[in-house]
Chain A
Amino acid sequence: EVQLVQSAAEVKTPGESLKISCEASGYGFDNYWIGWVRQMPGKGLEWMGFIYPAENLIRYSPSFEGQVTISADRSINTAYLEWDGLKASDTAIYYCARRGRYGIRLLDWIDPWGQGTLVTVSS
């Protein structure tokens, strides 16, 4: 069974750094794009960016380029989303998500999704 298990909820103050994780299992981690989708409170879904671990290719949505860093550790089948200086507006649920099909084509449906990590940024 393909699974994406995310790290626990976080509460941070503005300006702090944060790195959340997503451990993948049940498939060949290297050859599927895996990344992150944001859902702000009561709002819809926003594609942030994805990484192709086999070649360390990273693609960001223009809205998130320079705001976050996506990375992966192939040795432990884990993807990461990192902030260097959180803002209150970063408060959201962040979903780890895998592209549907094997291979280097970036654009594809998303399946499966992780359970979500709630990040709360408040002073």
Chain B
Amino acid sequence: EILLTQSPDTLSLSPGERVTLSCRATLNIGSYLAWYQQKTGQPPRLLISGASRRATGVPDRFSGSGYGTDFTLTISRVEPEDCAVYYCHQYSDAPDTFGQGVKLEIK
């Protein structure tokens, strides 16, 4: 089973700041990585697939990059509505697995 490790566990930023979330895989997963946003009391929402492809309706301040074992999700200018937990997800090998999540707080 491929493990995904996200860092850091929690972030606290002010509106307008730039943030980069990291996701590292234990094996090469190519570009088979997705990112999801989960707000409190809501289901996850797809942000990024294929490591860098923004899903329909996702603001362009969200961007993804990486290949192989190291990936990042960047929010260029955080807004209060970005307060959520962010998960990465590998779908290269079964069973697909998720990172443990990063909690983003907005001051």
A and B, one complex?
yes
Most B CB contacts (10 A, CB to CB) among A62, A106, A109, A111 go to A109
15 A-B Cβ contacts within 8 A?
A: A44-B100, A45-B36, A45-B89, A47-B96, A47-B97, A47-B98, A59-B94, A62-B95, A107-B91, A107-B93, A107-B96, A109-B49, A111-B46, A112-B46, A114-B43
Check: B34 CB closer than 8 A to any chain A CB: yes
How many of chain B's residues have a CB under 8 angstroms from any CB in A?
24
**Which are the 9 A-B pairs with shortest beta-carbon distances?**
A113-B43, A109-B34, A111-B46, A61-B95, A109-B49, A107-B91, A45-B98, A44-B101, A44-B100
Shortest beta-carbon distance from B23 to chain A in Å: 13
A-B contact count (CB 8 A): 54
Residues of A within 8 A of B (CB): 44-47, 59, 61-63, 95, 100, 106-116
Tell me the dominant secondary structure on chain A's binding face. Answer: loop
Check: B66 CB closer than 8 A to any chain A CB: no
In contact, B100 and A110 (Cβ under 8 angstroms)? no
When C-beta atoms are compared, the residue in chain A nearest to B96 turns out to be A47
